[in-house]
Structures are given as C-alpha cells and as structure tokens.
C-alpha cells in the first residue's frame, strides 16, 4: 500500500514564505516543529467526523530528517471514502508497509514513533482499540522535523472536518525547549493548540500538549 510522499523541508521553507503548495499535484496543510534530534513522537488522532466525499486525502503525523529524504508516518488514509490507519516509511529510503488498522469517523486512534536507543532506527505503531499494528525500520537516520499534515491530491475537498491530535508527547535530545513553546511553523492551515508545556530532564526535552487542531485555511 502506497502512502504519502516526503515533504521537502527546503521546499516547505519557501512555502512558508509564499503560501504556495509544497509539492506540485498536492495541497499541503502543515504544522511542524524542528529540533536537532527527535527521540519519540506519540499521541492520539480523532478520526474526522465525516467520511471523505472522494479523492485522495492523507492525514498524518510524521518525522523527517533535515534533508527531507524520507518520512516516517502513521497515515490516516481516506481513499475510497473509507478511513484506514497504517504505518509507512516513504522516500529514500522507502520501507516495507508496516501494517495498519481500520477506522471509522470519531474513532480514537493511537500512534507511536520511537527512536530505538537513540541510534536512528525507528519503531512505529498504529492502534484502534484492540486492533494494533507495528514494525521497525532499521535505517540509522536521525529526525529533525516533527510534522502534522493534511495532504490532499487533485479532486479532494477538505470536507471531512477538522483533524484533531490529542495527548501529544514529543521528546528531543538537548536542553533548549524553545522549539516546543515558540517555534511551531504552519503553512496553508488554521492551527489551534491547547495545554502546551515543556520540561527538561537528563538532557531530554519533553513537549506535551492536550490538543492540536488543524482546520481548513
């Protein structure tokens, strides 16, 4: 199963200035954090309240390296007017499909991306109640961007409702927590965040927030 493609952060940087789509053929609505070395990214996604009316919508949290060559992502796939939540590594390298779970509107999904031993090999999982799928990608790549994305291809309308992330916890190496509290970037989206707080212990920054909501621009 083929999922979303990597977001070029170099292109995205231009997009953040120009408010143009980040990739030809797709409309991107993105919020992202940057840090030197992410260690984990976990949370929940509330499946939007409506089924897509058609087209190809991909909704996802993800992690990318600084060169944006690849993206690690549990993707909520809305093709065929149906929701499906699955694990993927897309780009260079691309990994084998990592399994997934079915979903319907308003389900509470869980995701986990964890840097195994800090070495740049990654565990990823997606879950919906007692449905669970996980895999490991041994790629030796550190991630510098944590992304929340709505990716829409031609013929797709954002008519399924807001995308809400809940109980998000992101950890990164270091002691500077400003990336959590002040440095989120957005493009082509309305963003609302509640309950943001950060802490630092043992050279690890932990960033938490209660909700992050993406809605159409």
Contact by Cβ (8 Å): 33, 180:
yes
* Average pLDDT over every residue of 186-192: 96
Q: What DSSP assignment string belongs to 103-157?
A: E-TT-EEEEEEEEETTTTEEEEEEEETTEEEEEEE-------EEEEEEEE-TT--
Residue 14 belongs to a domain = yes
Q: In this predicted model, what pLDDT tens digit does every residue of 3-21 receive, in sequence order?
A: 555 554 434 433 332 222 2
H helix or E strand, kind and range, residue 42: strand 38-46
pTM as predicted = 0.91
Residue 39 belongs to a domain = yes
Please give the pLDDT value at position 3.
52
Please give the pLDDT value at position 5.
53
Alpha-carbon gap, residue 113 to 15, rounded angstroms: 26
Please give the pLDDT value at position 182.
83
Please give the pLDDT value at position 45.
98
Structural domains counted in the chain: 1
* Average pLDDT over every residue of 138-155: 97
Please give the pLDDT value at position 25.
80
Please give the pLDDT value at position 148.
98
Q: In this predicted model, what pLDDT tens digit does every residue of 28-51 receive, in sequence order?
A: 999 999 999 999 999 999 999 999
Residue 96 belongs to a domain = yes
Please give the pLDDT value at position 14.
35
Residue 42 belongs to a domain = yes
Residue 4 belongs to a domain = no
Residue 1 belongs to a domain = no
Please give the pLDDT value at position 6.
53
Residue 109 belongs to a domain = yes
Q: In this predicted model, what pLDDT tens digit does every residue of 91-139 receive, in sequence order?
A: 999 999 999 999 999 999 999 999 999 999 999 999 999 999 999 999 9
Average model confidence (pLDDT) across the chain: 90
Helix (H, G, I), strand (E, B) or coil at 173: strand
Residue 91 belongs to a domain = yes
Please give the pLDDT value at position 183.
73
**What range defines the domain where residue 101 resides?**
9-215
Contact by Cβ (8 Å): 64, 149:
no
Any idea what the CATH number is for the domain that residue 109 is in? 2.60.120
């Amino acid at each position: 199963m083929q999922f979303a493609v990597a977001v070029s952060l170099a292109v995205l940087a231009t997009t953040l200035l120009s408010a143009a789509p980040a990739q030809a053929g797709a409309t991107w609505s993105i919020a992202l954090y940057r840090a030197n070395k992410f260690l984990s990214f976990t949370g929940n996604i509330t499946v939007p309240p409506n089924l897509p009316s058609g087209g190809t919508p991909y909704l996802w949290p993800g992690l990318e390296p600084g060169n944006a060559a690849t993206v690690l992502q549990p993707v909520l796939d809305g093709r065929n007017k149906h929701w499906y939540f699955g694990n993927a590594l897309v780009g260079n390298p691309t990994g084998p499909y990592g399994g997934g779970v079915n979903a319907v509107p308003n389900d509470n999904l869980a995701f986990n991306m964890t840097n195994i031993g800090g070495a740049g090999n990654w565990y990823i999982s997606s879950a919906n109640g007692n449905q669970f799928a996980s895999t490991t990608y041994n790629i030796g790549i550190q991630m510098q961007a944590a992304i929340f994305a709505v990716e829409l291809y031609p013929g797709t309308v954002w008519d399924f409702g807001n995308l809400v992330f809940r109980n998000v916890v992101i950890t990164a190496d270091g002691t500077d927590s400003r990336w959590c509290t002040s440095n989120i970037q957005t493009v082509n989206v309305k963003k609302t965040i509640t309950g943001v707080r950060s802490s630092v212990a043992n050279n690890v920054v932990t960033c938490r927030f209660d909700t992050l909501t993406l809605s159409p621009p």
